[in-house]
A and B are shown apart, each in its own frame.
Chain A
Amino acid sequence: MIHANPRLLVIDDLFGRGTSSGPNRERDDLCAHFLWKDATEDAAAAASSQRVLRPKAEVVFCRAQVPVAAGVGDRVENDLHVALQSVRAGWQDALAAGRPPWAMVLLDLCFYTGLVTAQSDGNAPGMPPGRDGDDDPGKYFGMTLLNAIHREAPELPIVMFSSKPRAKVSLEFSRGGALGFIARDDANAPELLDDAIWLHGLMPDPEGEVVGHSLPVLLALREARRAARHRGNLLIRGERGTGKEVLARYAHRVSGSSTSPRPFVAVNSAILRTEIFSAELFGIEPRTATGVDGKSGLIESATGGDLFLDEIADMPAEAQAAILRVLQDRQITRLGARASRAVDVRFISATNAELESGATALRPDLLDRLRLGGTLWLPPLHERRADIPVLAMRFIREAEAQYGGAIQRSVDGEALQALLAHDWPGNIRELRSCLFDAVSRHPDVEHLVRGHLRLGQPVSQLSRPATDLDSRGREQRPVAGLNADPCGIEEALSAMARARFSPERIASWSGRLYDIQRTSSWLGARLLLAALDATKRRTPQHPAGIIQIHPAVKLITGDRTLTASRAADVIKRLLGPIEEELEGDLREALAVATRLRPKSPRSPSPHS
């Protein structure tokens, strides 16, 4: 279940006090003013007759005094233990149980103690008039609470929330670990609190895209929101399969307005290979004379928004230098253009590399610029096991939707224990594959049991979900994994073959046909490049080898009867669409093919 509203704990004597019956009028007024839903489990909340229509937060109140519901003649005393119990219930206990923890604690300063008199009770039922020292800034009980809570839960955000003067405690609350001070009587207090919750609060993603409410995830989400204020470049670190791109999309979402969406362009850095990175990154200027069509590069496409560079440590050195220049100059120049263009792009990069080890080829000066706005850490799944149940249900529902079954499954207790106990070296991606595999192999069961789970199987050996190009494009990068790893190519080809485009979302693919064609051409071109290299004729006079297009094409087509002129046709069809970007052996291969077959090849057939 997604908790759209943050859960706050308000520790305050006046608003936290209980009643034997009837509402706490001051608490009701405060909740209405700040648009809170009173989620306190006490008689006062139960007796309230007001209803906040669109609450901004769910709030639990704590008096931090005993008795909680006092009457005339009762002696009210501060009680640190009561306050800490409330903190633990919504913090340590919630985190351990996989429930959303307190987003924030709002802490009062002055707590009145002493005997409840008829007069003090008449002013505010259950409130004592206060003793000497209660209102002394040097002895505020709120500061005692702050120190104790921060010592016990240092990551729990605490903001002082009082109508006492801030100046008298400003140094003490900072030293005590509070993140801010909101004057409750400020004319803009509700808006100031909204800002504080956004900036300091620990809240799950209300859209549910980033799944989970374990502390490391909540901290990462908070850093993403904080970074949205300055739009500095972000670096996301985490192992493979931890959801770095999903977090990048969250960072993008929270830094824009819903009314004017900004572009988010995702790219796998490994595709920015020497032969194509300039055209990919900077685009191509149209040339009327030669008929070359113009094309926006990735950076230009992301102007005003975010460019997500996945697997940044795999980026070739030339591309690194080019990105560095863009970061320095904030300008790009299209291939074939004379003038540069200004770009306003935030770079969000991701890597699973051990950057500190120095084993990567990532330039330190580039790295510094790419993480100028902060570093977000995503933990491996085995460090956020509390999120496994909610992640599991999410993936099971996705799998059920994908496989079209009518059955909604639950997870049997033993199966859940197995999921919780597994180490998940492939992280969330492995969990997802495991559950898709279980659902697809057992279409007619209502319960997933331990025997349905193939834990510890390599992801490539599980039945994989079809690539879903409709669901926010998460798997939409057909170039992912196209390196020397043949398994990667098999996976990518399989994913491309099964990809489907939703008519409802077709508008978001406007103009992408040529990208797909170009990428496809480059895939074939790199295959040809490898074949050309493998079939080179090396002699003492030519130690680097002389390219031979005929044997190279025969090798990659598997057609031993192929003639030289047909091989030339294959090369022209393959390299023609990317002619302007070719260099080295590929350029030479096309030149040889064109000399052999000066005319245009016939329309292509799959077997030609």
Chain B
Amino acid sequence: MSSAVRYSSRQDINHDWLKNRWMPAIGKIVRVLEGAVEDTTACEEFARRLTTEFPGALAAVRQLSSRAENEASPRALFEEFPLSRCDDEMKAVLGRLVHEEWVARTGIGKKVAALDRAVRDAEVVAGATVSLLLDRDLSRQDREQVLVQMRAFQAACRELSARISALPDTVAP
């Protein structure tokens, strides 16, 4: 793997899906619940996306998290020229040392753990959100309760995005 290669899945999830498509969609529902935007089918449509689209995206984030330490480690550089010319034993020893030093220096373990927590939180908040969206008739009182929940979901997704961004996006030299 070239050191210039990016995590395409990170790009897809964080920028394309979460930031460009999912966050504006949440923003719209917040505006609808605030009464600033009229769209009679918006909440129902969003609840449908929340049950069909969101779980798959979270699964992709989990995969990203599980691969992060391995794929971003400078140990991968031993598979590229010129370090690839080292003998296997040298690669194994030096690769392990380089990896351990990198793990300690970057705190990648903590970043992955934080991302995992953000995934769990988002999943929990999403579940509560979809229940509220589907169960309530969005009369004035219910609307405010759902709005509070939507803002919590919005914050959870922002935290998720920030935790993904905190992961290294290239193999460190």
| Chains A and B bind each other | yes
The chain A residues found within 8 Å of chain B, CB to CB, are: 14, 25-26, 28-30, 32-35, 49-54, 110, 123-124, 135, 163-165, 184-185, 187
Q: Which chain A positions have C-beta within 8 A of B154? A: 187
Is B9 part of the binding interface, using a Cβ–Cβ cutoff of 8 Å?
A: no
Is B25 part of the binding interface, using a Cβ–Cβ cutoff of 8 Å?
A: yes
B20→A53 contact, CB < 8 A: no
With contacts A32-B28, A32-B39, A53-B38 taken as known, whether A26 is within 8 angstroms of B21 at the C-beta atoms is yes
CA distance A49 to B42 in the complex (A): 10
What string of 1s and 0s marks CB contacts (under 8 Å) between B32-43 and chain A? 100111111110
CA distance A51 to B6 in the complex (A): 40
With contacts A52-B37, A53-B37 taken as known, whether A26 is within 8 angstroms of B42 at the C-beta atoms is no
A51→B24 contact, CB < 8 A: no
The listed residue (A52, A135, A163, A184) touching B36 by CB distance below 8 A is A52
Q: Which chain A positions have C-beta within 8 A of B36? A: 32, 35, 52-54
Q: How far is the CB of B45 from chain A (nearest CB, A)?
A: 9
A50→B38 contact, CB < 8 A: yes
B31→A35 contact, CB < 8 A: yes
CA distance A29 to B37 in the complex (A): 10
Q: Spot the interface stretch: B11-19, B63-71, B128-136, B141-149.
A: B11-19
Docked complex: B38-54 residues within 8 A CB-CB of A: 38-42
A187→B158 contact, CB < 8 A: yes
Q: Which chain A positions have C-beta within 8 A of B31? A: 32-33, 35, 52
Is B73 part of the binding interface, using a Cβ–Cβ cutoff of 8 Å?
A: no
Q: Please, which residue of chain A has its CB at the minimum distance from the CB of B154?
A: A187
The listed residue (B16, B20, B32, B158) touching A32 by CB distance below 8 A is B32
B37→A32 contact, CB < 8 A: yes
Q: Which chain B positions have C-beta within 8 A of A25? A: 25
Q: Please, which residue of chain A has its CB at the minimum distance from the CB of B24?
A: A29
B39→A49 contact, CB < 8 A: yes
Can you give 22 contacting A-B residue pairs, CB < 8 Å?
Answer: A14-B20, A28-B39, A30-B24, A32-B32, A32-B36, A33-B30, A35-B31, A35-B37, A49-B39, A50-B38, A50-B39, A51-B37, A51-B39, A53-B35, A53-B37, A54-B36, A163-B15, A163-B20, A184-B19, A184-B20, A185-B19, A185-B161
Is B23 part of the binding interface, using a Cβ–Cβ cutoff of 8 Å?
A: yes
Q: Which chain A positions have C-beta within 8 A of B16? A: 123-124
Tally of contact residues, B, Cβ under 8 A:
28
Q: Which chain A positions have C-beta within 8 A of B21? A: 14, 26, 29, 124
Q: Which chain A positions have C-beta within 8 A of B41? A: 49
- Interface centre among B15, B30, B40, B161, by most A CB within 10 Å? B15
A14-B21, A29-B24, A51-B37 given. 12 additional CB < 8 A pairs?
A26-B20, A28-B28, A29-B25, A32-B27, A32-B31, A32-B39, A32-B42, A49-B39, A49-B40, A52-B37, A163-B19, A184-B19
Q: How far is the CB of A111 from chain B (nearest CB, A)?
A: 12
Q: Which chain B positions have C-beta within 8 A of A50? A: 28, 37-39, 42
Q: Please, which residue of chain A has its CB at the minimum distance from the CB of B4?
A: A136
B17→A123 contact, CB < 8 A: yes
Pairs A-B, 5 closest by C-beta atoms:
A33-B27, A32-B28, A29-B24, A163-B19, A50-B39
CA distance A32 to B26 in the complex (A): 10
Q: How far is the CB of B115 from chain A (nearest CB, A)?
A: 17
CA distance A52 to B27 in the complex (A): 13
CA distance A28 to B45 in the complex (A): 13
Q: Which chain B positions have C-beta within 8 A of A14? A: 20-21
Q: Please, which residue of chain B has its CB at the minimum distance from the CB of A35?
A: B36
- Interface centre among A110, A124, A163, by most B CB within 10 Å? A163
Q: Please, which residue of chain B has its CB at the minimum distance from the CB of A27?
A: B24
Q: How far is the CB of B49 from chain A (nearest CB, A)?
A: 10
CA distance A33 to B30 in the complex (A): 8
CA distance A26 to B26 in the complex (A): 11
Q: How far is the CB of A432 from chain B (nearest CB, A)?
A: 41
Q: How far is the CB of B147 from chain A (nearest CB, A)?
A: 14
CA distance A164 to B6 in the complex (A): 14
Q: Which chain A positions have C-beta within 8 A of B37? A: 32, 35, 50-53
B6→A135 contact, CB < 8 A: yes
Q: How far is the CB of B109 from chain A (nearest CB, A)?
A: 23
Q: Please, which residue of chain A has its CB at the minimum distance from the CB of B155?
A: A187
Q: Which chain B positions have C-beta within 8 A of A33? A: 24, 27-28, 30-31
Q: Which chain A positions have C-beta within 8 A of B6? A: 135
B38→A26 contact, CB < 8 A: no
Q: Which chain B positions have C-beta within 8 A of A165? A: 165
Q: Which chain B positions have C-beta within 8 A of A123? A: 16-17
Q: How far is the CB of B46 from chain A (nearest CB, A)?
A: 10
Q: Which chain A positions have C-beta within 8 A of B24? A: 26, 29-30, 32-33
A29→B17 contact, CB < 8 A: no
Q: Which chain A positions have C-beta within 8 A of B158? A: 185, 187
Q: Which chain B positions have C-beta within 8 A of A110? A: 15
Q: Which chain A positions have C-beta within 8 A of B39? A: 28, 32, 49-51
CA distance A272 to B115 in the complex (A): 70
CA distance A110 to B6 in the complex (A): 15
A29→B161 contact, CB < 8 A: no
Q: Please, which residue of chain A has its CB at the minimum distance from the CB of B45?
A: A25
Q: Which chain A positions have C-beta within 8 A of B23? A: 185
Q: How far is the CB of B73 from chain A (nearest CB, A)?
A: 22
Q: Which chain B positions have C-beta within 8 A of A29? A: 21, 24-25, 27-28
Q: Which chain A positions have C-beta within 8 A of B17? A: 123
Q: How far is the CB of A47 from chain B (nearest CB, A)?
A: 13
CA distance A165 to B166 in the complex (A): 12
- Interface centre among B6, B15, B16, by most A CB within 10 Å? B16
CA distance A316 to B85 in the complex (A): 88
Q: How far is the CB of A479 from chain B (nearest CB, A)?
A: 49
CA distance A165 to B23 in the complex (A): 16
Q: Which chain A positions have C-beta within 8 A of B25? A: 25, 29
Q: Please, which residue of chain B has its CB at the minimum distance from the CB of A26?
A: B21
Q: How far is the CB of B28 from chain A (nearest CB, A)?
A: 4
B27→A164 contact, CB < 8 A: no
